[in-house]
Amino acid sequence: MTDVLVVDLPNSQWAVVEYTENGMLQRKVIPRAFVGDVKGGTVTLSQDVLNAGLEYADVELPQVLPDLPLEVSTRLQDALRRRGIWTQRDYRNKSKVVAEVLSRLQCIDLATVLNAVL
C-alpha cells in the first residue's frame, strides 16, 4: 500500500495522483472511484492500482536525451517534475522554469532539452 497525494480531479471519472517511487516523483491517472472526492489530500492505494494507472507525463527525459548519462537525465527529470514540469505543454509554456532548473543543475542547456522534448 502506498500513500498518494490526489493532485487533480479533472472530471467525474479520473483522478491524478502523485507519489514517490524509488526516490523519484511519479504521477498516474487512475479511476476516480479509487479516491472518492478527495482533492489535495492523501489516500492509500494498492500497488496494483498504481501499476494499472496511466502515466500522467508524456515526456521521459532518459528516452528523449539518450546521450546524457542516465543518472543525469533522471535527476533532471525529477527536479523538473518537482517544479511542475510533466508534459510537452509544460515544457512549452513554462520554459523559464525549465531554464531555472537547468541553470541550477548546470548539466545541459535549454535548447537541447526543448528540441528533444518538442
pLDDT-derived band at 72, boundaries 50, 70, 90: confident
pLDDT-derived band at 94, boundaries 50, 70, 90: very high
Please tell me what DSSP assigns to residue 29.
E
Predicted TM-score (pTM) of the model is 0.79
Question: Mind listing the pLDDT tens digit for each residue in 22-56?
Answer: 888 999 999 988 887 787 788 999 999 999 999 99
Cell of 25: 516523483
H or E stretch covering 22: none
CA–CA dist 23, 28 (Å, integer): 16
